[in-house]
């Protein structure tokens, strides 16, 4: 953790204020150096009050993603978020992480962008990612899974996203297979899982996550209003993006640990409980092919098991799902 | 095709010689320009005789891979080899093609290297690729296949390699599942299939091919002599690498077309006829797991169907195979 991050941690741990002398002692730097870091943080938008009796006190935080701040809030995870980078703008955070992966970056690296110029969803579709309206980020994983088991990671990401959103907003997110998070039937977040593999060995997986956080109803593009929403619209108030980002990374770390420890069954049970697709009659379009039937459950690889009209059980790993009324 | 490539084509089409005037007419360039290109080709190692009665005649060719020469020999394929690049040395041709793929190169691009400093086989293993001893190259494909169907491309590459080797040497190559080409029980070529995909959509596939062509018995590293061989050792004479390279690209193009046209069944039948694994009792090690049984056939995705001792049919897409005696 950098000194800025340590100071933010100390300020949060002492909401009543902490003296410059105490900070200097904890961090083993001079009081003048503490003051200089406080000035840095103020320039980033942190409202830090200073007074003779309270010392330094954190009175307000910017609505910005700052790597040091995220590290300070995260305060240690097993894998995910050991390395966090924030870009003001990128074409696509998945592409940035792909490049990091090829340059040998360790797993758990996370790249956020305040905005993406070419954010993408599944099947090459566009994902709108304007500045500060949401969280757009990607995570590098190097799991010891067979390529066919990587669907497990999409499943685990969905449960992690749901828990994090619920903890920060008290909303009740639902999952639409394979990768959508809905609130009241409208999409609020999505997961794009990209895989680099040999036939029998995963080299790396990139989880791309997009969460529509602080769009107001008027800001959502007209074409999306029927099918999409934001946490702010649903919760009735803005949501802290840094707090949500940290919550998501922590929950992702927990669920990734469960998958790596062979406890995918636990994750799958939680997923099925939140999934609006399971138990429903659905139509799934996969390229030119179309399958109809009842979505029964997930198999151990994370694929959807669909009972077709002929009673046959099909294993489906992707496609566009339409729920029948 | 470049002018150099067109001149090589014309020289090969006229083994008795072709006049400078005729070449100039065919290519719509001046006779002085023809002479200048002939000089270029001589510098690359082509032995081109010139005389008042025969004109230009191709008397000898270098043992070198030259992009123009390969294009001229190939003389048009459907997809594979529309773009050919030759490097004197690279770390790994798969890595070069990966970069081309990300930069938007079209499918069918082929990259050869005379030598690789970090050639690799399956599971991150080293693949020795010294200068001019073999063919080390990679092919970019963008098939409309589900990620789970990409094993079909390894299967199709194996049949293509066998036909090409047989046509150039009269040897009888065999296939050891999943990716080895053997002659008399020893490995002479291998295929590394690398995949970039979303969960339900292939973005691109890179076929890496290594063929041990002209090692002499004394040159093969001592540690490999029991398990590996070269075409030269088996055939008893050196093999033309440019001719073999062209034959392989042509056969790859043919088998890739068959897979794309939904005729994988044909390819699979040919594969099974050449495969020493099918019908045998085998042990397959997949990471820490080990499976034993009888290799029965390929399924429609290109995976091996293994009948275990308990009579259960397992679908296997990778691993290390040991044939039982």
Q: In Å, what is the CA distance from B42 to each residue of A140, A204, A292, B61, B140?
A: 51, 47, 65, 9, 31
Chain Cα centroid distance, residue A255 = 12
For residue A273, cis peptide bond before it (omega within 30 degrees of 0): no
List CB contacts (< 8 A) between A118 and chain B. Answer: none
Same-domain pairing of A30 and A174? no
Looking at the structure, do residues A54 and A71 belong to the same domain, yes or no?
no
Question: Which residues constitute the domain of residue B172?
Answer: 67-274
Question: A–B: how many Cβ contacts below 8 A?
Answer: 82
Residue (of B259, B205, B254, B213) closest to B237 by Cα position: B213
Taking an 8 Å cut-off on Cβ atoms, the answer to whether B197 and A195 are in contact is yes
pLDDT tens-place values along chain B, 325 residues long: 789 989 999 999 999 999 999 999 999 999 999 999 999 999 999 999 998 888 999 999 998 999 999 998 988 789 999 899 999 999 899 999 999 998 889 999 999 999 999 888 876 778 888 888 999 999 999 999 888 888 899 999 999 999 999 999 989 999 998 789 999 999 999 999 999 998 888 999 999 999 999 999 999 888 888 889 999 999 999 999 999 999 999 999 999 999 999 999 999 999 999 998 888 999 988 777 888 999 998 888 778 899 988 888 988 887 888 888 6
Chain A positions contacting chain B at CB under 8 Å are 98, 102, 122-124, 144, 146-148, 150-151, 154, 178, 192-201, 203, 286-287, 317-319
Q: Give the end of a domain, one of B233, B252, B274.
A: B274
- Report cis status (omega within 30 of 0) of the bond before B65: no
Chain A residues within an 8 Å CB radius of B197: 194-195, 197
* Torsion angles phi and psi, residue A191, rounded to 5: -130, 130
Inter-chain residue contact B196 with A196, CB threshold 8 Å: yes
**Number of folded domains that form chain A:** 3
Instruction: State whether residue B303 is helix, strand or coil.
Output: coil
Are the beta carbons of A68 and A2 closer than 8 angstroms? yes
Contact A20, A55 (CB under 8 A): yes
Cβ A317–B286 below 8 Å, yes or no? no
Based on the fold, state whether residues B217 and B300 are members of the same structural domain.
no
User: Quick one: B42 and B147 in the same domain?
Assistant: no
> Does B52 share its domain with B136?
no
Structure tokens at B120: 């690799």
Out of A144, A194, A286, the one facing B198 most closely (by C-beta) is: A194
Whether the CB-CB separation of A225 and A248 falls below 8 Å is answered with: no
CA distances from B316 to B202, B285, B321 (A): 20, 10, 11
Q: What is the CATH number of the domain that holds A28?
A: 1.10.10.10
Summarised one tens digit per residue, pLDDT across range A119-154 is 888 767 788 888 889 999 999 999 998 888 888 999
Last residue of a domain, one of A60, A77, A109: A60
Residues B199 and B180 in one domain: yes
Distances (CA, A) of A193 to A100, A208, B198, B294: 16, 6, 6, 35
Q: Are residues B95 and B138 in the same domain?
A: yes
CATH of the domain at A160: 3.30.930.10
Which among B21, B37, B60 is the end of a domain?
A: B60
CATH number of the domain bearing residue A319: 2.30.30.100
Minimal C-alpha gap between B65 and chain A (Å): 27
Residue of B nearest to A178 (CA): B199
- Total residues found in chain B within this entry: 325
In Å, how far is B295's CA from the nearest CA of chain A?
Answer: 18
Of residues A228, A190, A183, A184, the one with CA closest to residue A207: A190
Four-CA torsion A287, A292, A297, A299, nearest 10 degrees: -40
Distance CA A311, CA A180 (A): 27
Q: Do B318 and A102 touch (CB under 8 A)?
A: no
CB B113 within 8 A of CB B168: no
> Does the model's ipTM exceed the 0.90 cut?
no
Q: State the Cα–Cα distance between residues A33 and A301, nearest whole angstrom.
A: 52
Same domain? For A52 and A199 the reply is no
Output the pTM of the full model: 0.84
Q: Does residue B147 or residue A183 have the better pLDDT?
A: A183
Task: Return the DSSP state at A126.
Answer: B
* CB–CB contact B287 A144 (8 Å): yes
- Same structural domain for residues B202 and B262? yes
State the smallest CA–CA distance between residue B136 and chain A in angstroms: 18
Same domain, A300 and A168: no
Question: Which of B103, B191, B199 would you mutate first to test chain A, the one with the most A CBs within 10 A?
Answer: B199
- Are B301 and B261 members of one domain? no
Please indicate, yes or no, whether residues B291 and B268 belong to a single structural domain of this protein. no
Burial of A226 (0-12, 13-18, 19+ CB in 10 A): exposed
Look at residue B91 and give its three-state secondary structure.
Answer: coil
Please count the CA atoms within 13 angstroms of the CA of B146 that sit on its side-chain side.
17
pLDDT band at A289 (very low <50, low <70, confident <90, very high): confident
């Amino acid at each position: 953790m950098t000194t800025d991050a340590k100071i933010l941690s100390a300020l949060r741990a002492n909401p009543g204020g902490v003296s410059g002398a105490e900070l200097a002692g904890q961090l083993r730097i001079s009081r003048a150096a503490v003051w200089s870091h406080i000035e840095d943080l103020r320039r980033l938008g942190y409202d830090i009050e200073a007074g003779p009796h309270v010392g330094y006190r954190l009175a307000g935080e910017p609505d910005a993603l700052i790597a040091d701040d995220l590290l300070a809030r995260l305060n240690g995870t097993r894998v995910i978020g050991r390395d966090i980078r924030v870009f003001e703008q990128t074409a696509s955070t998945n592409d940035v992480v792909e490049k990091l992966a090829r340059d040998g970056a360790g797993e758990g690296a996370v790249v956020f962008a305040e905005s993406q110029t070419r954010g993408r969803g599944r099947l090459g579709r566009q994902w709108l990612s304007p500045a500060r309206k949401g969280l757009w980020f990607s995570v590098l994983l190097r799991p010891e899974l067979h390529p066919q088991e990587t669907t497990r990671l999409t499943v685990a990401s969905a449960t992690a996203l749901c828990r994090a959103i619920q903890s920060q907003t008290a909303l009740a997110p639902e999952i639409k297979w394979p990768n959508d998070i809905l609130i009241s039937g409208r999409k609020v977040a999505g997961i794009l899982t990209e895989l680099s593999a040999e036939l029998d060995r995963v080299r790396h997986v990139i989880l791309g996550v997009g969460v529509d956080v602080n769009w107001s109803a008027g800001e959502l593009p007209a074409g999306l209003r029927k099918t999409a929403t934001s946490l702010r619209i649903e919760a009735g108030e803005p949501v802290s993006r840094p707090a949500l980002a940290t919550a998501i990374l922590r929950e992702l770390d927990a669920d990734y640990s469960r998958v790596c420890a062979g406890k995918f069954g636990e994750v799958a049970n939680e997923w099925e409980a939140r999934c609006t697709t399971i138990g429903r009659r659905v139509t799934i379009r996969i390229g030119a092919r179309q399958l109809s039937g009842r979505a029964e459950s997930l198999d151990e690889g994370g694929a959807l098991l669909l009972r077709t009209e002929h009673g046959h059980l099909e294993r489906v790993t992707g496609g566009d799902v339409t729920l029948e009324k």
